[in-house]
Structure 1
Amino acid sequence: MAGDQKAKGKKEQAKGKAKEAIGRAVGNERMEAEGRAGQAKGDARQAKEKTKDVFKH
């Protein structure tokens, strides 16, 4: 389950990065902001899973 959540976090980060880059390329500030938000969500998920791992061992 934890591996699944980690993968989900990585996917969110990658999606956010792509969306931000596309938004920047076309000059769409909203899309760029949504991309940054997606990256932050992925970062938070990754941090949560890493914290869980620390307390498991």
Structure 2
Amino acid sequence: MAFEDDVKGKVDQASGKAKEVAGVVSDDEKLEAEGKAQGVAGKARGAFGDAKDKAEEAAKNAKEKTEDAVDNLKSKFDKEK
């Protein structure tokens, strides 16, 4: 899902830049502002995708460490039997 956020963020950035440039060329301040806002929103969406990736990786690492700890405890109990 993070990949989707990254792609949509880049599309928003590109579309925003196009609107911004069109606003500058046509002297349309509203269109220029909309373009800037869309570009910022695109950057935010991309950052959100990055954060999701990092959170997923951290959760995966925590799960693996927990499973390793449980396996170690099981092997210690099995040795005592």
- Give the alignment's TM-score, normalised by structure 2: 0.67
Give a deviation string over 1:6-53, Cα, whole Å, max 9, x none: 111100000000000010011000000000000011011011111111
User: Higher relative CO (CA 8 A, sep ≥ 6), structure 1 or 2?
Assistant: 1
The separation in 2 between residues aligned to 1:24 and 1:3, in whole angstroms, is: 32
Structure 2 partner of 1:19:
19
- Give the alignment's TM-score, normalised by structure 1: 0.92
Aligned CA-pair RMSD: 0.8
Structure 2 partner of 1:47:
47
Gaps of 5+ in 2: 58-81
The separation in 2 between residues aligned to 1:11 and 1:41, in whole angstroms, is: 11
Greater radius of gyration (CA): 2
- Identity of matched residues, %: 44
The separation in 2 between residues aligned to 1:2 and 1:47, in whole angstroms, is: 9
Q: Say how many residue pairs are matched.
A: 57
Gaps of 5+ in 1: none
Runs of 4+ in 1 over 4 A off after TM superposition: none
